[in-house]
Amino acid sequence: MVEIKTINTANLEVFSETLQFLATADKDIIVVTSDSRGSGKLVPFGQKYPEQIVEVGIAEQNLVGVAAGLASMGKKAFAVSPACFLTARALEQIKNDVAYSDNAVKLIGISAGVSYGALGTTHHSLHDYAVLRAINNITIVAPADNYETAEAIKQATEMKSPIYLRFGKKAMPANLNPDKADFKIGKGRIIQEGNDLTLIATGEAVLPCVEAAKLLEKEYNISCKIISLHTIKPLDTELLLTTAENKKPIITVEEHSVNGGLGEAITSLLFQNGCSNKLKIVGLPDDHTVSGSQTEIFNHYGISADGLRNTALNLLGL
């Protein structure tokens, strides 16, 4: 079997490469785009498989409706659109045509989080985890690296229920833990073990955790466990509760509002199960988001090596 290239590239590029590879042998794969062929890195797909791509224009509600119809007829429909529009403008269609009607659409939110940078709040998707968590019958996945992305697309293609996959634009590592090929939708992935503190993140927020853990180990001899919780819904409750048994502090990190996302989902689970770990949710606050590049925004809100190191030291009382 041909191996997908996963060498420090944007997860969105890996999504496109993987989908092209799968579509070679599976004519049921149909991509639906909303003037997003270019931004979704799907120009090569359209050139190779012109009969397996549908362009609806800037009409996200139609995008989801068309994809739901294709899925209802047995097609493996991928609805690809900027996350900010897909999960806001087309939310009713996601709720009713996809989730309620149980059509196994693969919703692909591209340029997610603050990937659009200086384009600002209108183009940020800091609400998508929250709104989709509140809708029954939809899985939510945000891969952290190229390996997770390729595996997520392969597994999502064969799913018989709806799924939302979220991708940014920045180049990500090939594999944050090359010693383990253990990706499975619904199960968290341990990037490294540690005894003093646990960092739990999803999507492109995992890499800053890895960088922060290196600083904490080097400067303070603090050992951090890192979990890539790529699947936000359903949560890997077994892994989370087992992790909390050591009573050590936990920091959750996400490229999303602190309201309704990964951190609140984990906090709710742990609190309702009697866990008493100190816990800090790191994300974007309930405020007007500052303008800047993704890196600048991350740095401003502490989603960075230095910022997370400082958060960890404060939580540990150091």
Peptide bond into 234 cis (omega under 30): yes
Mark whether 220 and 289 lie in a shared domain.
yes
Question: How high is the mean pLDDT of the chain?
Answer: 95
> Three-class SS of residue 93?
helix
Q: What DSSP line would sit under 107-143, residue for residue?
A: EEEES-BTTTGGG-GGG-B-SHHHHHHTSSS-EEE--
Q: What is the tens place of the pLDDT at every residue in 274-296? A: 999 999 999 999 999 998 999 99
* Per-residue model confidence (pLDDT) at position 5: 44
Q: Residue 195: inside a domain, yes or no?
A: yes
Whether residue 5 is contained in a domain is answered as no
Contact 193/226 with Cβ under 8 angstroms? no
**What does the pLDDT read at residue 175?**
94
The pLDDT-based confidence of 30 (bands split at 50, 70, 90) is: very high
Same-domain check for residues 156 and 210: no
What residues does 48 pair with on adjacent strands? Answer: none
Is there a single domain that holds both residue 18 and residue 125? yes
Q: Above 80 in pLDDT, residue 151? A: yes
Quickly state the pLDDT bin for 181 (edges 50, 70, 90): confident
Q: Is residue 148 domain-shared with residue 198, that is, in the same domain? A: no
Maximum separation of any 2 CA atoms in the chain, in Å = 60
> What percentage of residues in the chain have a pLDDT greater than 90?
93
Q: Check pLDDT > 60 for residue 71.
A: yes
- Do 256 and 194 share a domain, yes or no? yes
What's residue 21's pLDDT? 95
Whether residue 183 lies inside any domain: the answer is: no
What is the pLDDT at residue 29?
97
Residue 272 in domain: yes
85-96 pLDDT tens trace: 999 999 999 999
Last residue of a domain, one of 103, 134, 166: 166
SS3 171: strand
User: Which of these ranges, 5-9, 159-163, 268-272, 294-298, has the smallest mean pLDDT?
Assistant: 5-9
CATH number of the structural domain spanning residue 101: 3.40.50.970
Structural domain for 226, as ranges: 189-316
**Does 216 share its domain with 136?**
no
pLDDT of the residue at 7: 57
Same domain, 152 and 239: no
Question: What CATH number does residue 234 fall under?
Answer: 3.40.50.920
Residue 238 confidence (pLDDT): 98
